[in-house]
């Protein structure tokens, strides 16, 4: 249990889920921001109310990249973290990370969103949105940065 001093009231909870997939060369599946096609992050986004984090991560990946991942795979949450934004009256952001084997991806359609989809170096993901959070995940999972 985490005790905060002074105590904080959580004003809003945001839950999100991301997919981390590396190809055999160590490149990571990334998606760019809609308004900046040079800023890449992991596919993912906010969960729908009551949505399972693994299924949410797979849904977001399909929407953002066009890659289908079978939910029948033995997938699990490999990493999770939370962040309390004190500047926004205690908003709590909780993110789940699902590591997906490269061989399980199946490109079935174009993306539904306007960002770019690319296999990028881990260092590119760290320079994009949420880079500081992704660095913690990469370090924890032993992802080599190049």
- Element (DSSP H or E) covering residue 31: strand 28-33
Confidence class of residue 114 from pLDDT cuts 50, 70 and 90? confident
| CA-based R_g, the chain, Å | 16
| Domain-located, residue 106 | yes
Q: Give the pair of three-digit tokens for residue 108.
A: 């079935």
| Domain-located, residue 89 | yes
Q: Say how far apart CA 83 and CA 101 lie, in whole Å.
A: 27
How does pLDDT run across 49-94, given as a tens digit for each residue?
A: 999 999 999 999 999 999 999 887 788 889 888 877 766 666 778 8
End-to-end CA distance of the chain: 36
The tally of domains found in the chain comes to 1
Q: Say how far apart CA 108 and CA 67 lie, in whole Å.
A: 6
The parent domain of residue 29 ranges over: 12-141
Report the predicted TM-score, pTM, of the whole model to 2 decimal places: 0.85
- According to DSSP, the residues that pair with 127 across neighbouring strands are none
Confidence class of residue 3 from pLDDT cuts 50, 70 and 90? low
Helices marked H in 16-95: 53-65
Q: Which CATH number covers residue 122?
A: 3.90.79.10
Residue 6 has pLDDT above 70, yes or no: no
| Domain-located, residue 54 | yes
- The residue assigned the tokens 């770019």 is 116
| Domain-located, residue 78 | yes
| Domain-located, residue 146 | no
| Domain-located, residue 81 | yes
């Amino acid at each position: 249990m985490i005790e905060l001093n002074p105590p904080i009231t959580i004003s809003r909870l945001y839950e999100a889920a991301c997919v981390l997939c590396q190809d055999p060369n160590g490149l990571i599946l990334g998606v760019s921001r809609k308004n900046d096609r040079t800023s890449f992050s992991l596919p993912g986004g906010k969960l729908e109310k009551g949505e399972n984090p693994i299924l949410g991560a797979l849904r977001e990946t399909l929407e953002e990249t066009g890659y289908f991942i079978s939910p029948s795979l033995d997938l699990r949450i490999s990493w999770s973290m939370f962040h309390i934004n004190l500047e926004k009256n205690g908003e709590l952001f909780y993110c789940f990370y699902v590591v997906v084997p490269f061989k399980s991806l199946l490109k079935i359609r174009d993306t539904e969103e306007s960002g770019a989809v690319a296999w990028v170096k881990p260092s590119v993901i760290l320079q994009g949105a949420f880079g500081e959070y992704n660095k913690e995940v990469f370090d924890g999972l032993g992802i080599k940065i190049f």
